[in-house]
A and B are shown apart, each in its own frame.
Chain A
Amino acid sequence: MADIPTIPTYITVHLGAPNTAAENVTVPFAAYIKNVASAEIYPNWPPASLRANILAQISYTLNRVYTEYYPSRGYDFDITNDTRYDHAYKPDGEVFDTVSLIVDEIFNNYISRRGAVEPLAAKFCDGKVTRCDGLSQWGTVDLAEQGFTTLEILRYYYGDDVEIVENAPLADNTPSYPGTPLARGSFGNDVRILKNELNRIRRNYPAIPEINSSTSVYDGETEEAVKTFQRIFNLTPDGVVGKATWYKVKDIFNAVKRLSELTSEGLTIPEIERVFRTELSAGDSGVEVEAVQYYLAFLGYFYPQLPPIPVTGFFDDATRDAVFTFQSEYGLPITGVVDIATYATIEREYKRAVADLPENYQSAIGEPYPGRFLVEGDRGEEVRVIQRYIDRIGRTDPAVPEIDVDGIFGPQTRRAVEAIQAQLGVERNGAVGPVEWVEIITRGNNI
């Protein structure tokens, strides 16, 4: 259990009662709360009522996560959608704009009892058909109409010692909202980062206009890009980057960037096949574990049943849970161990996913790693691709020589690669492997 509650990036929901066989889906935390709130309450209830209900839902959910309520009982999910135990959650369910706007604004706030660390297990019921010792959903409407504020409503039901904790940190280390909105005329590093992030998002969402200036000033074209972003992602299109827009930009940027990096980092399939051991299980480490994690992480982007996992090279609990899920989904013996059959199925599904995705999605996920080391003497399009990025780096970094982009991996390219390897602190062998590939592509893209 963590010392200070953080907001999880994703949450795994079991679509049934805890002890019944049912599908798990992994969804972004804010999307989960929006779905729950839209299923539990009416969107045109008074604002104080909506906020009180949503805060109760957030707190209850965070309490489940913080106390590891289900994992500590041996389950591989965070929460269920059975209303006898947890919130209503409807896969592919609708979300209401009033609810969406509030959740975007308060998704990292929660209720806590004074002196306590954990988010309050804020029970609630509808107050008409069912009654409980927690918040009454319909009762909040009456209280709001009497003029109660959000906090007064919460204290009415949960006691005078509850407080609202605001701006809890995000588990994925997303930079916290600086507290001051960015708007036309703002300047500084946050603005420069915002522009870069919007331009990167634009590659996947081309309706967002390009921001050409790379200065640290929030100008007219930045405002237009922000407004379009806000329209697409259901935020108030005012061109001002407040808390909701700040976190939404980070969220979408992380989604597009991580997948792109993941694709660039693709390990060489022949290399893995050569070294793959007969079994991988919890506690193992190395490049073959990294490969399994990579494949599962990639597949997890497209299949909501697979929990997202980091690519660390160490077979930890998260990897084991992802293997459990994969084996369950694909009808394999559920062992949590990657044997030859499991590995072959994972690899096959990965290859299919990459090969069969629509062409425009493939091109948008970055330059895929060619699957082998590029070395001096190589020729061809793959060399030309990496040369283009190296040359771009060389124009801004005097430590890296500019090179000819001719598709021929000669001494000039080798020296440039060695310079980048020196900066990276890896062996200076002049060859472009997965580590160098992702570094060069990422740096080149960020220029």
Chain B
Amino acid sequence: MFRDYLDIQAKPDEIYPQPVTVPQGETPFREEYEEYIRSYPGRGTLKVQISVARGAFPIKNVLVDVSQIYNGVRYSLYNDVTDISGIVDNMVLPARSIESTLNFDTVQPEAEYLVTVFHPDFRELTDCAVVIHDKTETILPISLVPLTGERKDG
């Protein structure tokens, strides 16, 4: 449906680029946040892409955790490690419906998640907030800083 909408709107000189991926599958389900999943009927995907040295090297085997805090409780939705290209891909997550992002007056908060990445040789990055949108792939490019050379106070 989203693609149809885009195709109708696009002018011949503005052929819209194809999204890299279309969300497939379902987000991990738990009864505790069933209500949340129902109220966020849209689905988007998250791709975490980790590198060092301005993208010169992907970092493999980085632990990636995607969590959400709902009703004051933290739920870990995805746990994975990056592949040889530094990527964890295709994590499907609930989002607001497209209609709500086309209407300024919508009061529903964004579907926001927290990403934490860990590799013993690099500075840990915790609770990096990402917003997921319906029928959209969100890419989180992270450039990790090596643990060596940490600023020394004093």
Q: A279: which B residues are within 8 A, CB to CB?
A: none
Closest to B52 in A: A302
Q: A303: which B residues are within 8 A, CB to CB?
A: 145, 149
Cβ contact within 8 Å between A206 and B149: no
Please tell me the number of chain A residues within 8 Å of chain B, measured between CB atoms.
60
Interface size class of chain B, counting residues whose CB lies under 8 Å from the partner chain: 35 or more
Render A232-272 as a binary contact track against B, CB cut-off 8 A, 1 for contact.
Answer: 10111100000000000001100110010000000000000
- Known contacts A236-B20, A331-B151; is-contact A51 B14 (Cβ 8 Å): yes
Cβ contact within 8 Å between B128 and A92: yes
Rounded to whole angstroms, the CA-CA distance of A304 and B85 in the bound complex is 21
Cβ contact within 8 Å between B83 and A361: no
Rounded to whole angstroms, the CA-CA distance of A44 and B97 in the bound complex is 10
Whether B63 is near chain A, meaning CB under 8 Å from some CB there, is no
> What's the nearest-Cβ distance from chain A to residue B132, in Å?
9
Q: A48: which B residues are within 8 A, CB to CB?
A: 9-11, 14
Closest to B102 in A: A141
Closest to A204 in B: B57
Rounded to whole angstroms, the CA-CA distance of A46 and B102 in the bound complex is 9
Whether A31 is near chain B, meaning CB under 8 Å from some CB there, is yes
Residues of chain B in range 126-154 having any CB-CB distance to chain A below 8 Å = 128, 130-131, 133-143, 145-149, 151-154
Whether A45 is near chain B, meaning CB under 8 Å from some CB there, is yes
Whether B56 is near chain A, meaning CB under 8 Å from some CB there, is yes
Rounded to whole angstroms, the CA-CA distance of A304 and B145 in the bound complex is 8
Q: B130: which A residues are within 8 A, CB to CB?
A: 94
Whether A1 is near chain B, meaning CB under 8 Å from some CB there, is no
Rounded to whole angstroms, the CA-CA distance of A48 and B153 in the bound complex is 49
Cβ contact within 8 Å between B6 and A47: yes
Cβ contact within 8 Å between B149 and A302: yes
Whether A2 is near chain B, meaning CB under 8 Å from some CB there, is no
- Known contacts A47-B9, A299-B149; is-contact A42 B133 (Cβ 8 Å): yes
> What's the nearest-Cβ distance from chain B to residue A178, in Å?
20
Residues of chain A in range 328-350 having any CB-CB distance to chain B below 8 Å = 329-331, 349
Cβ contact within 8 Å between B149 and A45: no
Cβ contact within 8 Å between A92 and B125: yes
Cβ contact within 8 Å between A44 and B2: yes
Q: B137: which A residues are within 8 A, CB to CB?
A: 96-97, 234
Cβ contact within 8 Å between B152 and A301: no
Cβ contact within 8 Å between A302 and B11: no
- Known contacts A47-B14, A232-B85; is-contact A259 B53 (Cβ 8 Å): yes
> What's the nearest-Cβ distance from chain A to residue B111, in Å?
12
> What's the nearest-Cβ distance from chain A to residue B12, in Å?
10
Render B89-126 as a binary contact track against A, CB cut-off 8 A, 1 for contact.
Answer: 00000000010011010000000000000000100010
Q: Which of B2, B18, B146 contacts A302 (CB under 8 A)?
A: B146
Rounded to whole angstroms, the CA-CA distance of A356 and B58 in the bound complex is 17
Stretch at the interface among A98-106, A181-189, A212-220: A98-106
> What's the nearest-Cβ distance from chain A to residue B23, in Å?
11
Cβ contact within 8 Å between A349 and B149: yes
Whether A357 is near chain B, meaning CB under 8 Å from some CB there, is yes
Whether B19 is near chain A, meaning CB under 8 Å from some CB there, is yes
Closest to B135 in A: A44
Q: A358: which B residues are within 8 A, CB to CB?
A: 121
Whether A205 is near chain B, meaning CB under 8 Å from some CB there, is yes
Whether B84 is near chain A, meaning CB under 8 Å from some CB there, is yes
Q: Which of A45, A236, A331 contacts B17 (CB under 8 A)?
A: A236
Whether B21 is near chain A, meaning CB under 8 Å from some CB there, is yes
Stretch at the interface among A143-151, A190-198, A317-325, A431-439: A143-151
Cβ contact within 8 Å between A149 and B11: yes
What are 26 pairs between A and B in contact, CB < 8 Å? A43-B136, A44-B135, A44-B136, A48-B10, A48-B11, A92-B128, A94-B140, A95-B141, A96-B136, A97-B138, A100-B139, A102-B17, A149-B11, A149-B14, A207-B83, A231-B20, A232-B85, A255-B53, A303-B145, A329-B151, A330-B151, A330-B152, A331-B152, A331-B154, A349-B149, A357-B148
Give the interface of A toward B (CB within 8 A): 28, 31, 42-48, 51, 92, 94-98, 100-102, 105, 128, 138, 141, 144-145, 149-150, 204-207, 231-232, 234-237, 251-252, 255-256, 259, 299, 301-304, 329-331, 349, 352-353, 355-358, 361, 364-365
A-B interface, 9 closest residue pairs, ranked by CB to CB distance from nearest: A101-B17, A356-B148, A97-B137, A94-B130, A301-B53, A42-B101, A255-B56, A47-B16, A352-B148
